[in-house]
Amino acid sequence: MLRGLSPRLRGTAHWRHCHRAPSRFIPDRRLSDAERELIAQDYAMEEHMLAITCRRALAQYVLREYGINHRHVEGDPRAQQIELGNREALRQWLY
């Protein structure tokens, strides 16, 4: 068994869903409307949101690749440009 999951369940839709972390990136809320619109276009966001789903164990690395430090918010919003829109949903998988 893998973490209490029967070998029959590994690879099923249930297993894949339970081991995924949905990251939702949005333009930094402190930017002006025009700046947020530009950032949304630069990141090909749909409705000002970029959804990236990865394995839970890799959530921290996805944030790092997008230049987001979940523990520290830059003083200047132009330095970071995007932020994590669903921080609470991912908190348990971030270290």
Would residue 41 count as lying in a domain? Answer: yes
Number of domains in the chain: 1
pLDDT at 13: 57
Residue-wise pLDDT for 22-48, tens only, equals 889 999 999 999 999 999 999 999 999
pLDDT at 43: 94
- The pTM assigned to this predicted structure is 0.74
Percent of the chain beyond pLDDT 90? 32
* Residue-number span of the structural domain to which 84 is assigned: 20-93
* Averaged confidence pLDDT in the chain: 81
Would residue 31 count as lying in a domain? Answer: yes
Would residue 24 count as lying in a domain? Answer: yes
DSSP code of 53?
E
pLDDT at 3: 52
Would residue 83 count as lying in a domain? Answer: yes
Segment 53-61 long-range contacts (CB within 8 Å, at least 24 positions apart):
53/20, 53/21, 53/22, 53/23, 54/20, 54/21, 54/23, 55/19, 55/20, 55/21, 56/19, 56/20, 56/21, 56/93, 57/93, 58/21, 59/21, 59/23, 59/90, 59/93, 59/94, 60/93, 60/94, 60/95
Would residue 8 count as lying in a domain? Answer: no
